[in-house]
Every structure is written in C-alpha cells, then in structure tokens.
Amino acid sequence: MGLKLEDITGIGKTTAERMRSAGIDTVEKLATINVDQLLNINGIGRSTALKYIEIANQLLASLNTGKKESSNEGENKFKENSNHKQNINKKNRVPLKKVKSPNPMKFPKQAKVSSKTFKPRSKKNKKHETAKKPVRKAEKERREFKPVHDTFFPLEHMQRIRFLHFKIKDLEKSLKKHDITFDIDKLKEYRGYVKLLNVNYKTQSQIKIFKELKLTPDFYDPIEKRKIEIWDLMFECARVFWVFARAYAQLSTEYEEQNDIKNAIVAMVECSRAYKTASYFSRACIRQEDIGISLDPEELEFNSEEARVFAQSLAAMREENKNNYFKAAKKYSGLSMLTQRLLYLRKHDKKKNEQLKAQFNYDMGRACHLNAKALLRTAISSKIKGRIRELQEKANFYFYKAEELWEYMLEDLRDLSNEEKKSLEINLSIVNENIMENDVEIIDPEEALKIQDPEPAIMIPENLAHFLPRTTKYLTNYPTKNLEYRRIKKYKEFKLEAQLKIDRIQKLQNKKAGIGRTIKELKTLYKNNEIDINRFSALLEKYSTKYNMIESAITKLQSIYKEDKPETKGPKKQVLTH
C-alpha cells in the first residue's frame, strides 16, 4: 500500500483532493512526477511544488532504509537465537546410563514440629514467645494495608490526567500535519487537564509528581528550535494552553475558508483567551529556569493581542459583507485603534513596525470610506453632501499614508520574501482602487485633523483568561473569618439600587434631549420646504407623544426617589447593618 498524501507536512485535505483529481494518488506518484504538472494545480507555487516532491522522496528513502534495517536485524536475531539454543542443549544433556548405588542410605524420618504439639520446657520461654506473636501480626497488617508510597493525586485523578495528557499529545501531532480532527467542544473538554493540575503545590517536589503522573518531561520550542525540559507544573499548564491557542487559530482559518465567519470570530476570540491564560501560567512559574521564547509571558501576551486584532478584522469584514456600512465603519475604526495599540505594545523590527503603521492608517481610511458610503444611502441634503466630501477627503488622506509606507517597504527593505512582496503589491493595488473610487482632492494634515473620524466600536473585549494559576496562598486560602458576607451583600444591594436611580433618570433625560433635537430638526426641514407636510405632521405627532411620555416618567421617578431621602431633622437612618 502507498503512503497517503496527507502524511506530507503542508498538504491538507483540500490540496490532497486537488492532487487526487489531477491523478496524483500516492506519495510514490508525487515523488516521480514533474514540477510543471504540479504547477497546473490551483494554489501550488513552484517553491511549494519542489518542497512536496523533495519531502516525498525523503519519505520513500526512509521507508526503504527502514525495511533493510529490519530485515538485517531479523537475520541477526535468528542467528543469536539458534546459537543460544545450541549452548542450552549442551548444558542440559542427560547421560545415557544411570548408575544406581548398591546400598542406598536410609535416614530416619524427622517429626514435624507444629505450634500445637510443641511444649516449652520452662515458663520463661512461654512468656517470651507469647509476647512476640502480636508483634508479627501487626507487622503483617501494616504490610498488607499500607501502600509503598503516598501519591499527591488520588488514583482516579491520575488516570484522568494521563488520559488527557496523551490526548493533547495527539492534538499536537494533528496540528503539525494541519489535519483538523477536533472542534471547539473537544478543546473545551481537554481544559479539564489544567483544572486538575492547577493546584497550590506549596513545598512539594514537582519533579516527583511528574514521575508519578508519567508525563512527558520536555517540549519542542519551534522558535528556538530546541527541546526544553519542564520542571514546573504551572509551565506544563502554560504549554497546554499554548497548544490550545494554536488549535483555535487553525479552527478559525478553517471556518473562514468555509465562509462561516461567525464561528471563525468565536474561535479567534478563544485563541486570544488561551494565549492570555498561557501567559498568566508562564508568569506564575517558580521552579522553571529555562522558558524559551514560545512560552515567554510577553510573547504570549503579544500573541493574545494579535489574535484579538484578527477577530476584530473578521467582525468588521462580516458587517461589510452584510452591507451594514455604519457598523462596519465603527468596527474598522476600532480595528485601527487596536492595531495602533499593538504597534506601541513593544519594540518591533523595522519590517513589522512599518507594516503595522500602514495597516492602522489603511483601516481608519476604510472606516471613513464606509461611513461616506453609508451617508450616501440616506436622504441627501446640503449638510450631508458636505460631510460625505469631508469623509472621502479624510479617507484618501489615510490611504495615501498607507500607500507611501507600503511603497517604501517594497523599494527600500531588502529582507522581504517573494510572498511578502506579492502581498505588498496586492495591498497597493487595493489602495489605488479605493483612492480612485473617492475621486477627491488631496488635503493637508492640518485640514485632516479638523475632520472627525468615525466613532470606534471594539467588538472583541479585553479578554479574560480561562483560569488563574493557584500557586500563591491568597488564591487558594480565603480568610473566611474576616469576611462578613451579610454586610457585603447588603452593601452591594444598596450600591446597585443607588446606581439604578441615577441611571434610570439619566437615560430618560438623554432620550428626552435626543427627541427634542429631532423635533427641532423636523421644524427646520419644514421651513426650508425639504419635507412633505403629511410626512412632517405624522413624524411630529409621533415624536411629541414620545417626548410627553418620557417627561411624565421622569417626574414619577423623581417623586418616588424623594420619598427615600432621609429627613434633615433627627438622626440619619442606618443603611448598612452588621
């Protein structure tokens, strides 16, 4: 049987199906095929085609050498076994004739001494013997019931930890092959591994616990390209969440290819959360000296923020595809802010720095462009026309900035790969299309500052971690005596009630002000003959009734809250009681 195409690193299910449709079924065929035939398949370039053929040849060569070695080993083992059998036969040869002794010696049979028949000569010996018997019984009981050594975890937990550990190892292997055989629910189930290991170990030997659990004592750092030994169980938890984060990222790309953007966003948010959790556990390590780069807390924190940016970009794209231009503009504005935050989060190399600068300028330009598009759909007046022109000018201002940065990268930076150059060329073509679509004059930076950007809306929140490491005392041992639960509960209720009073009246007053502005705007439109009289009368009646309803609700709430106020005379009421 031939090897499967999926066994080669870099070939997923989709590329394998394309190859099979082209007539390339096995690895043997791939090894003997010409490069030009592979180039006819969609999505495969020259470098990737050469790489696939080279890996296929290496796999076949390793299989052939493995077969030869196994055959040689089998022959050697057969020879050794035959020699061993000959030596044993020589040793165990039985003589042909047996010589019997003429007068065999007959010894008298000795009577067996039992505890019942034995009678001691003196009473002293009897006392001595009876004192020894219970000691022996106690020793036997201890040997039978006491285990050889006490384990830190109970047996059930140990079995569950081992099972989940090797399941996560299988997950790592599938991630290397880009073979997605898991879903979000399965990854949620695997979190139980960290739940069991997330314990305050205090002064316990964690290396001893590692040996008891029979966990893999090292992991491979892909950035440093070396193995790192694990000495701390918190570091093991960080490693597991790092694996989960990469799994969520792969799931997100898979959902995106299937045009399931909603699930792609969810998976990317979970990826950000997993990186955040891994950074917390990596920071909580006490016994781990060698951390590497992949599991460095700062690196993991940065990866979490990057995943958050990707999730925000997916959310903005989703709104744009739905033609919700107002929402899309807000989300692109929020995306620009997140990218800017990512830029100043830490020092980057020149290439990354310029790319982030260009990206946040383009995103803000996109926000202005989509806001102008949304305004074009509304009832166009002289004011709205002016606002549309301003937004288009501001969009082009940002687009020109992004274009300058990408052109600088393409011309001056020498360490760019061919793929990076292609992506930069695509970016420049898209920016030019956007500039041509707006078709407005270039404005100065001073004029651009006067024009207001669209309001940012960040859909992806500051992500909370799945767990917190329990390595310190205050996270596990709560001083229950010092806490007065009743008092705290009453204080929270009081605080919430006070906040609700303010919020209700404030919200109603804001609504009242907004409806008042709309009524004023309707009257000005009617004076300028920009609205029909029937339409004007219907809208005026609608908003005036709303205005009156809100006004009556505010007066009612104010009268209710006046009753709760304490009298000025006499002592004040005690709200909080012990």
What tokens appear for 517 in the block? Answer: 């502005």
How far from the centroid of its chain's Cα atoms is residue 335's Cα?
A: 20
Least confident of 3-12, 72-81, 448-457: 72-81
- 82 pLDDT tier (thresholds 50, 70, 90): low
- Section 150-179 average pLDDT: 87
C-alpha–C-alpha distance, residues 335 and 274, integer Å: 21
Least confident of 70-79, 232-241, 356-365, 454-463: 70-79
Count, residues in the chain: 578
Closest CA to 302 of 269, 331, 335, 279: 279
- Section 179-189 average pLDDT: 81
What tokens appear for 221 in the block? Answer: 């750092």
422 versus 26: the higher-pLDDT residue is 422
Nearest-Å Rg of the Cα atoms of the chain is: 39
Average pLDDT, the chain: 77
- Section 235-245 average pLDDT: 93
pLDDT at residue number 473: 45
- Residue 140 in this model has a pLDDT that exceeds 60: no
- Section 244-273 average pLDDT: 88
C-alpha–C-alpha distance, residues 405 and 400, integer Å: 9
* Percent of the chain surpassing pLDDT 70: 75
- 445 pLDDT tier (thresholds 50, 70, 90): confident
Are 390 and 369 within 8 A, CB to CB? no
- Section 50-76 average pLDDT: 69
Least confident of 237-241, 334-338, 342-346: 342-346
554 versus 329: the higher-pLDDT residue is 329
- Residue 76 in this model has a pLDDT that exceeds 70: no
C-alpha–C-alpha distance, residues 521 and 523, integer Å: 5
What tokens appear for 23 in the block? Answer: 């007539």
206 versus 223: the higher-pLDDT residue is 223
- Section 161-188 average pLDDT: 86
63 versus 522: the higher-pLDDT residue is 522
Closest CA to 244 of 468, 7, 466: 466
* Percent of the chain surpassing pLDDT 90: 19
pLDDT at residue number 474: 45
- Section 204-220 average pLDDT: 86
- Residue 569 in this model has a pLDDT that exceeds 60: no
- 238 pLDDT tier (thresholds 50, 70, 90): very high
- 510 pLDDT tier (thresholds 50, 70, 90): confident
Are 209 and 152 within 8 A, CB to CB? yes
- Section 80-87 average pLDDT: 54
pLDDT at residue number 503: 61
pLDDT at residue number 481: 44
pLDDT at residue number 366: 93
Alpha helices in 177-289 (DSSP H): 184-190, 192-197, 206-213, 233-257, 261-283
**Who's near 184: CB < 8 A, 6+ residues apart?**
248, 251, 263, 266, 267, 270
pLDDT at residue number 126: 45
C-alpha neighbours within 13 Å on the C-beta side of residue 203: 0
Least confident of 65-69, 359-363, 388-392: 65-69
pLDDT at residue number 1: 47
Instruction: Note the CATH number of domain 5-72.
Output: 1.10.150.20
- 561 pLDDT tier (thresholds 50, 70, 90): low
pLDDT at residue number 100: 47
pLDDT at residue number 443: 87
Encode pLDDT of 291-323 as tens digits: 889 999 999 999 999 998 998 999 899 889 888
